[in-house]
DNA sequence: ATTGGTGCAAACAATTTGCAGTTAG
DNA sequence: CTAACTGCAAATTGTTTGCACCAAT
């Protein structure tokens, strides 16, 4: 069976790019940390553990390349840093994000909730949608639970 | 009748901030360019036309302050620049954006299309939504029209 | 007087680029 | 072999900060 790396290699080759060891190491780090939303610096530090000779500029260049090929998506949650998120295979659309304003955690919503909304945008606004970004800011379920527990315990101590 | 500036002035005062001439000039620029999505630099250049002695740092500080007070929203369309967008008065939620990947234009959708989606997110993912960001990337109606016309005209020339 | 606000220049942080040397296909 | 790629350091860009001075209560 064909691995995810193999498929990415083909994508590179079909645009006459090479899969160098540095690029492979970078992609592996992304695969191993699919749940996270790593910044370029984060990726650099993780790659460095396995391939210490790599330079930060190369990581940036690789991430840019992968973004161009739509293998990763570049996202920005409003702090000054770009983060990079592997596209789920076969996903027609970019997934959605839940950013917790308490603890900073970023959760993902993989199902596409925007079908109806996109139909409205295409019809009513005559906009041909190629991609979307949807992020909710609020309180994640963990912080809600924590807040409830604290309210409980302080009540019992009064 | 109370002007928009007056109301903003009150908001500042109620948090014990002053409406200095520099801040007023900055707010006026935002009001006069409500349709646009100005970067800090853009705002700075426009303010400078009226009040040449203002410094870029002051503009940054003012925009930060206005963001804090939820008078403007800070957005980021993926180029490395933050843009600032006046909140529509009375709008419970941040409006949506349509970014054209052809011409770079940014159009706004003022109606809130996310009601149903937010209900799902709150119920199914137990996430308490405080705000959202929704941006579509694609081809705006103007560029679609242009592309069609060009296709037409080249056809007639064959 | 005291607190908050300003302009300027310097500091910072994230990202990009020039270049001489290296390597995958 | 050769166009693509790399590491490094320097350059660039957007934004923030320190500080001495100014303005409004």
> What is the spatial distance, in angstroms and rounded to an integer, between the CA atom of B19 and the C1' atom of D24?
11
Mean pLDDT score of chain A, rounded to an integer?
A: 92
Contacts of A78 in chain B (CB under 8 A): 74, 76
Q: Is the pLDDT of residue B25 over 90?
A: yes
Instruction: Give residue-wise pLDDT tens across range B77-103.
Output: 988 999 999 998 777 778 999 999 988
CA angle B7, B8, B12 (to 5 degrees): 120
The CATH homologous superfamily to which domain B91-158 belongs is: Ferric-uptake regulator, C-terminal dimerisarion domain (3.30.1490.190)
Instruction: CATH 1.10.10.10 in chain A: give the residue spans.
Output: 1-90
Cα–Cα nearest to B82, from B56, B60, B55, B115: B60
Q: Tell me the mean pLDDT per 10 residues along chain A, length 158.
A: 88 95 97 96 97 97 96 93 90 86 92 95 96 95 92 70
pTM: 0.90
Q: Is the pLDDT of residue B110 over 80?
A: yes
Confidence class for position B44, pLDDT limits 50, 70, 90: very high
Chain C positions under 7 Å from a protein CB? 4-10, 13-18, 23-25
What is the rounded CA–CA span in Å between residue B133 and residue B137?
Answer: 13
Q: What is the predicted pLDDT for the residue at A158?
A: 55
Distance of CA A65 to the CA centre of its chain: 15
Contacts of A118 in chain B (CB under 8 A): 136
What is the rounded CA–CA span in Å between residue B95 and residue B87?
Answer: 8
What is the rounded CA–CA span in Å between residue A142 and residue B108?
Answer: 34
User: What would the mean pLDDT of B13-26 be, rounded to a whole number?
Assistant: 95
Mean pLDDT score of chain B, rounded to an integer?
A: 92
Instruction: CATH 3.30.1490.190 in chain A: give the residue spans.
Output: 91-158
Q: Which nucleotide is nearest to A22 (CA to C1')?
A: D6
Q: What is the predicted pLDDT for the residue at B155?
A: 67
In CATH terms, is domain A1-90 a member of 3.30.1380.10?
no
Confidence class for position B1, pLDDT limits 50, 70, 90: low
Find the residue closest to D16 using CA and C1' atoms. Answer: B57
Label the pairing between strands A106-109 and A96-100: antiparallel
């Amino acid at each position: 069976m064909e691995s995810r790396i193999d498929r990415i290699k083909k994508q590179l080759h079909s645009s006459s790019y090479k899969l160098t060891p540095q690029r492979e190491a970078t992609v592996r780090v992304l695969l191993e940390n699919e749940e996270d939303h790593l910044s370029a610096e984060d990726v650099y530090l993780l790659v460095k553990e396995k391939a210490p000779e790599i330079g930060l500029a190369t990581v940036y260049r690789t991430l840019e390349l992968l973004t161009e090929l739509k293998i990763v998506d570049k996202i920005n949650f409003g702090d000054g840093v770009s983060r990079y998120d592997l596209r789920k295979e076969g996903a027609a659309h970019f997934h959605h994000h839940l950013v917790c304003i308490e603890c900073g955690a970023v959760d993902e919503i993989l199902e596409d909730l925007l079908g109806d909304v996109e139909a409205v945008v295409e019809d009513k606004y005559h906009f041909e949608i190629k991609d979307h970004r949807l992020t909710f800011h609020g309180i994640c379920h963990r912080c809600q639970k924590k807040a409830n527990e604290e309210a409980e315990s302080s009540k019992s101590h009064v």
